[in-house]
Homo-oligomer: A and B are copies of this chain.
Amino acid sequence: MPKRKKLLPAKTEHPSEWYTTVVKLADLADYGPVRGTMIIKPYGYALWERVQAEMNPLMQAKGVQNAYFPAFIPHSFLQKEASHVEGFSPELAVVTHAGDEELEEPLVVRPTSETTIYNAYASWVQSWRDLPLMMNQWCNVVRWEKRTQPFLRTSEFLWQEGHTAHASHSEAKAMQQWGIDLYAHIYRSIFAIDGYVGEKSTMERFAGANSTLTFEAMMPSGKALQAGTSHDLGQNFSKAFDISFSTKDDSIDYTWQTSWGLSTRSLGALILAHGDDDGLVLPPRIAPTQVAIITTAPQSDTQSAFARQLLAQLTAANVRVIYDDRDDERFGFKLNKWEVKGVPLTIRLGDKEVESNLATIKARYGGEQRQFAVDDQFAIAVTTWLEEIQAAMLAGSVAAKEAATREATSYDEFTKLVQQHGGFIKVFWEDNPATEKQVKEATHATSRCRLPDSSEPGIDFVTGKPTKQQWLFAKSY
């Protein structure tokens, strides 16, 4: 039986082939029948369900309520906010016929739901007592893309979109920050991926927002991935959709709004950030299966009984554990299978382990092997190790981010760094769509996010003029 991992190209040499192959081999996804669409298979969907399970309680604690808004948006709705329609028009899928008739007004399949949600908010909000209004939906959205890749960029994807309306700009700004902090938490604590939080440039911000905060993560390929965004929409949509309210002191004002979204794209980041030449490497907190138990002889009753004993102990300790008792796959095949799937720990049991009441366990991340006695401390030893791995993976990501962040003080230095290393390049630069476009056309790099201003001015790497603004640039997915 061939080693499955031999089917996998080396990650550093063939990053793109490695990516599409690992998505298939680990059974995460398959291509859909329509160009640019994907099928999220159970193992991939289980990752998304983990994201939902982590985010839902945090949103609920904040008072954000889940709801569901229609997928179809009247075309005229998008036109109510000028920059919004300009940004999304090229990517729209349009329903022109329904129920065997041509529609009077074409319907757009939601690329994002600001317009349809804010149209509803307008009828729900009357008084400051109705605020803040904070809703979230988990749904599918459609953005027709020319070049697609599973998870990273697909014509249809899944996401959550939070939409909030507030009585004051300061409250909306705090909410915008809360949104990006939520994503930073999900990435750092659950995905074990570090990144930078900062504001987007004028060119890169969301169509319809006054300001976009982003969490930007660096992938091993040297390209950045915009991993989640949170927008201060100001009063742009509340004015376009007439979401007005009577204030505490009985005047009339428009609401201040935010929206924020995290999509199945995040799973692309997870695959890219941690995977290696043997397949996926999943951090324990996101892993659908944290521990796989494999016996050297599936037919052995004593091995099987021992495996079930471990399964019961770990399940009781809330470990997501599987005993792989398939009788048509050999031991080595199973080891490879769970390795490709990136399961954090595999417990390997043979007659020696049964006799000595030991569990031999190997970590996917780092490859360390340990032996534990199977006693009443066993489950604690395993959960402690899972936590260690989670922390070590995050530490690795922090170190990788720092190593991949370089400074450029001139345009020449900048282009050399883009070509030689990729990664984040820290520069003095004054936000300017014209110079950003120029940089993008010459180098394919764009601004990723703004860093805190320098106390002393430096030299804008494009214009040569003094500025205190500091930005990270990179090529991106």
A135 close to B (CB within 8 Å): yes
A311 CB to nearest B CB, Å: 15
Interface residues of A in 105-125 (CB under 8 A from B): 106-107, 109, 116, 119-120, 123-124
- Determine how close the nearest CB of chain B comes to the CB of A117; give it in whole angstroms: 9
Known A89-B100, A92-B99, A100-B89: A33·B73 in contact at CB below 8 Å: yes
Please tell me if the beta carbons of A156 and B70 are within 8 angstroms of each other in the complex. Answer: yes
Q: Shortest beta-carbon distance, A164 to chain B, in Å?
A: 13
Give bound CA distance, A93 to B41, whole Å: 26
Docked pose: A109 CA to B34 CA in angstroms: 12
A378 within 8 A of B: no
* A105 to chain B: closest residue by CB: B34
A308 to B461, CA, bound (A): 59
Which residues of B lie under 8 Å from residue A190 when comparing CB positions?
none
Option from B68, B91, B144 in Cβ contact (under 8 Å) with A40: B68
- A42–B135 touching, CB < 8 Å: yes
Q: Are the CB atoms of A328 and B129 closer together than 8 Å?
A: yes
A297 at the interface (CB under 8 A from B): no
Contacts beyond the supplied A33-B77, A96-B96: 14 A-B pairs with Cβ under 8 Å: A30-B120, A32-B70, A40-B69, A42-B67, A45-B65, A45-B67, A71-B142, A71-B156, A72-B142, A72-B155, A72-B156, A89-B100, A93-B98, A99-B145
Q: List 13 A-B contacts (CB under 8 A).
A: A30-B123, A33-B77, A33-B116, A34-B72, A34-B107, A48-B68, A68-B140, A93-B95, A93-B98, A93-B99, A98-B155, A99-B145, A139-B140
**A interface residues, Cβ below 8 angstroms from B:** 30, 32-34, 37-42, 45-46, 48-49, 65-74, 77, 89-100, 106-107, 109, 116, 119-120, 123-124, 129, 135, 139-140, 142, 144-146, 155-156, 158, 328
